[in-house]
């Protein structure tokens, strides 16, 4: 692949969007209203949102756990894919993000909390509570876990994701796994951060899962995600 071809990534995304992602007012509003309300532009791209939501359809997921709600953009994608089949539980630490997410979800016609429940708090405080509820059978385990919050905790969230999962066949998706490994110096030229956690090595040594990392290029530049299936 030549550099010239990589430079066409935005044009390719625009072309794909035009033909495969029909305009959706609720999703578009989630982007514009989030920006208007001062949220950072760090939601997944349209194409990545569709791709991740299609994975839940392929796996007939019934309970999606999302860590990192922001303005609810990816939550809307998941809710649309799960319509009539299941529910999304999303965790967000910043109250203003949670409030904007609920507003955006409702504008998109998603019922809150019936279709998407947004839990406010630091994920590492909330996840043990979810684990206890699953243990007591007050909550169903998750069959799809989407990790898209603070990068330093990707491994902790992954570990919880496996523990909170339904078991065999459940999927864990970690966004930004490639940028994290490059920016923390685990791979490449950047100086290695003192406390860098080698997510991929940890996952590779974890007998509970089978996993792969897929590098991606698109309108949001170069990155990649880790995808794991619980054995």
Ligand X SMILES: C[S@@+](CC[C@H](N)C(=O)[O-])C[C@H]1O[C@@H](n2cnc3c(N)ncnc32)[C@H](O)[C@@H]1O
Residues near ligand X (CB under 6 A) are 42-44, 68-70, 73-74, 91-94, 97, 122-123, 148-150
Number of residues that make up the chain: 231
H helices of the chain, in order, are 3-6, 9-20, 25-36, 46-58, 73-82, 95-107, 123-135, 154-163, 177-183, 199-204
Decide whether 143 or 148 has the Cβ nearer to ligand X: 148
- Tokens standing for 148? 């898209």
Q: Provide, rounded to whole angstroms, the least separation between the CB of residue 1 and ligand X.
A: 27
Q: Provide, rounded to whole angstroms, the least separation between the CB of residue 38 and ligand X.
A: 12
- DSSP-derived pairing of the beta strands 171-174 and 221-230: antiparallel
Decide whether 96 or 192 has the Cβ nearer to ligand X: 96
Q: Which residue's CB atom is positioned nearest to ligand X?
A: 68
Decide whether 92 or 231 has the Cβ nearer to ligand X: 92
Helix (H, G, I), strand (E, B) or coil at 116: strand
Q: Provide, rounded to whole angstroms, the least separation between the CB of residue 103 and ligand X.
A: 14
Q: Provide, rounded to whole angstroms, the least separation between the CB of residue 123 and ligand X.
A: 4
Q: Provide, rounded to whole angstroms, the least separation between the CB of residue 11 and ligand X.
A: 23
Decide whether 73 or 158 has the Cβ nearer to ligand X: 73
CA distances from 13 to 6, 46, 83, 190, 219 (A): 11, 9, 26, 29, 6
Burial class (CB in 10 A: 0-12, 13-18, 19+), 36: exposed
Decide whether 65 or 228 has the Cβ nearer to ligand X: 65
């Amino acid at each position: 692949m030549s550099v010239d071809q990589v430079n066409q990534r935005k044009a390719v995304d625009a072309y794909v969007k035009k033909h495969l992602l029909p305009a959706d007012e609720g999703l578009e509003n989630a982007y514009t209203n989030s920006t208007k309300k001062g949220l950072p532009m760090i939601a997944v791209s349209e194409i990545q949102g569709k791709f991740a939501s299609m994975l839940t359809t392929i796996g007939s997921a019934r309970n999606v756990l999302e860590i990192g709600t922001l303005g609810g953009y990816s939550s809307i994608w998941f809710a649309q894919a799960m319509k009539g089949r299941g529910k999304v539980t999303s965790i967000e630490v910043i109250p203003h993000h949670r409030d904007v997410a609920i507003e955006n979800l409702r504008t998109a016609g998603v019922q809150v909390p019936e279709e998407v429940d947004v839990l406010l708090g630091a994920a590492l405080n909330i996840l043990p509570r979810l684990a206890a509820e699953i243990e007591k059978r007050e909550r169903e385990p998750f069959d799809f876990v989407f990790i898209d919050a603070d990068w330093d905790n990707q491994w902790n969230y992954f570990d919880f994701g496996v523990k909170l999962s339904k078991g065999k066949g459940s999927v864990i998706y970690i966004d930004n796994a490639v940028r994290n490994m490059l920016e923390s110096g685990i791979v490449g030229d950047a100086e290695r951060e003192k406390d860098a956690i080698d997510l991929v090595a940890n996952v590779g040594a974890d007998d509970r899962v089978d996993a792969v990392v897929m590098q991606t290029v698109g309108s949001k530049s170069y990155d990649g995600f880790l995808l794991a299936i619980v054995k």
